[in-house]
């Protein structure tokens, strides 16, 4: 069933809303557990940006690769990494997708072709180019979607990656999540060219800008970009204009933006605006929302229980897959 003037059928619309809720409730629980000392290290929340990951990843196909940043819980979840394994990884347990060694910032799952989780700003961009080069050399028609913040576009790795992807005609979908602040620095204070599509287009890459607070807009933009990459084998760049509602990380005092600005963006929150739209069209009811939210709460609760019951890696395994200069020195004659 499709309402007049609405681009999605009810089934897909409900799926998109459900996935945004799954990300939001997972993140809220992660923040709670971080405060309780159950999750340690660094934690960067995606709250407010859910429409980007959900819309973009639903435009991909099975077998497409995804690389994200340290704010990647939502991308991993929507791309198919089980919530149990994500939560266990944040708990540092062996049952996590990276055996508890990566934590919040380094989720990784080769079975779904989710290749991180990367704690280095712009660190995923060269990896995406390498994955796309491998697909090209094997004559495999797949898309590698690389997510990064606008702060990454001030890094040399961004320019090197865009240049090579365009020069070698590689199938990379570059997805810039422009949330206006690279950590605590506003875009205009760090980059002389604030039109990010102009910056990407300077490498001969086709570009598109989308409202990152509207899941239908992100889905449409990502479908356009992914189709271009898949059909031509050439890269494509999308700027998703979005906003994070929480600080950069759990350690961020957030002194660089006004509360009024945050509140204004919250009025455009992707979950409540999309659900309200579905209700107005008669595709959805408040009872439907409450039922889905309850199901999501059950899934999150089960993930927490799974993680809490997980096991720590044995001390004897801690050096497995690790090579150190000390080891090399000890082996020298």
The pLDDT assigned to 83 comes to 98
E runs forming strands in 179-327 = 181-182, 185-186, 206-211, 236-241
Q: What is the pLDDT along the chain (333 residues), one digit of tens a residue?
A: 455 568 889 999 999 999 999 999 999 999 999 999 999 999 999 999 999 999 999 999 999 999 999 999 999 999 999 999 999 999 999 999 999 999 999 999 999 999 999 999 999 999 999 999 999 999 999 999 999 999 999 999 999 999 999 999 999 999 999 999 999 999 999 899 999 999 999 999 999 999 999 999 999 999 999 999 999 999 999 999 999 999 999 989 899 999 999 999 999 999 999 999 999 999 999 999 999 999 999 999 999 999 999 999 888 887 887 876 655 555 544
Distance, C-alpha 109 to centroid of its chain:
14
As a whole number of angstroms, the distance between CA 329 and CA 105 comes to 31
Residue 170 phi/psi, 5-degree rounding, is -105, 145
Alpha-carbon distances of 305 from 41, 85, 104, 207, 309, rounded to whole Å: 20, 11, 17, 43, 6
Alpha-carbon distances of 61 from 116, 229, 240, rounded to whole Å: 18, 12, 20
Element of type H or E holding 177 = strand 172-178
**DSSP letters of 315-328?**
GGGTTTT---HHHH
Sketch the domain layout of the chain as residue ranges: 11-331
**DSSP letters of 151-173?**
GGGGSHHHHHHHHHHHHTT--EE
Please, which residues have CB within 8 angstroms of residue 195's CB and are 6 or more apart in sequence?
none
Residue 197 in 3-state DSSP?
helix
The pLDDT assigned to 159 comes to 97
Nearest to 96 by CA among 313, 318, 321: 313
Give the CATH fold of the 11-331 domain.
Rossmann fold (3.40.50)
Write down the residue that tokens 């999540």 correspond to: 177
Nearest to 29 by CA among 69, 81, 65, 83: 83
The pLDDT assigned to 259 comes to 94
The pLDDT assigned to 294 comes to 98
As a whole number of angstroms, the distance between CA 219 and CA 272 comes to 17
Are the CB atoms for 166 and 236 separated by under 8 Å? no
């Amino acid at each position: 069933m499709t309402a007049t003037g609405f681009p999605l059928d009810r089934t897909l619309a409900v799926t998109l809303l459900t996935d945004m809720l799954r990300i939001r409730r997972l993140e809220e629980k992660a923040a709670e557990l971080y405060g309780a000392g159950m999750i340690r290290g660094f934690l960067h929340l995606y709250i407010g940006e859910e429409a980007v990951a959900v819309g973009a990843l639903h435009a991909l196909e099975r077998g497409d690769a995804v690389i994200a940043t340290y704010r990647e819980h939502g991308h991993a979840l929507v791309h198919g990494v089980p919530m149990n394994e994500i939560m266990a990884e944040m708990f540092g347990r062996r049952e996590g997708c990276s055996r508890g060694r990566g934590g919040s910032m380094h989720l990784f799952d080769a079975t779904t072709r989710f290749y991180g989780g990367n704690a280095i700003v712009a660190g995923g961009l060269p990896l995406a180019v390498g994955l796309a080069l491998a697909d090209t050399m094997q004559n495999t028609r797949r898309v590698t979607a690389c997510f990064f913040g606008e702060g990454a576009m001030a890094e040399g790795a961004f320019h090197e990656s865009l240049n090579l992807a365009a020069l070698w005609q590689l199938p990379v979908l570059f997805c810039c999540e422009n949330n206006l602040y690279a950590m605590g620095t506003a875009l205009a204070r760090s980059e002389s060219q604030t039109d990010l599509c102009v910056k990407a287009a300077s490498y001969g890459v086709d570009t598109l800008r989308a409202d990152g607070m509207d899941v239908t807009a992100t889905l449409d933009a990502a479908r356009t970009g992914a189709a271009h990459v898949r059909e031509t084998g050439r890269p494509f760049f999308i700027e998703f204009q979005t906003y994070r509602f929480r600080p950069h990380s759990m350690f961020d005092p957030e002194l660089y933006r006004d509360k009024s600005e945050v509140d204004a963006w919250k009025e455009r929150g992707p979950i409540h605006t999309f659900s309200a739209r579905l209700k107005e069209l008669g595709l959805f009811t408040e009872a439907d929302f409450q039922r889905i939210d309850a199901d999501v709460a059950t899934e999150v609760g089960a993930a927490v229980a799974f993680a809490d019951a997980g096991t720590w890696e044995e001390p004897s395994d801690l050096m497995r897959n690790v090579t150190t200069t000390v080891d090399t020195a000890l082996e020298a004659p």
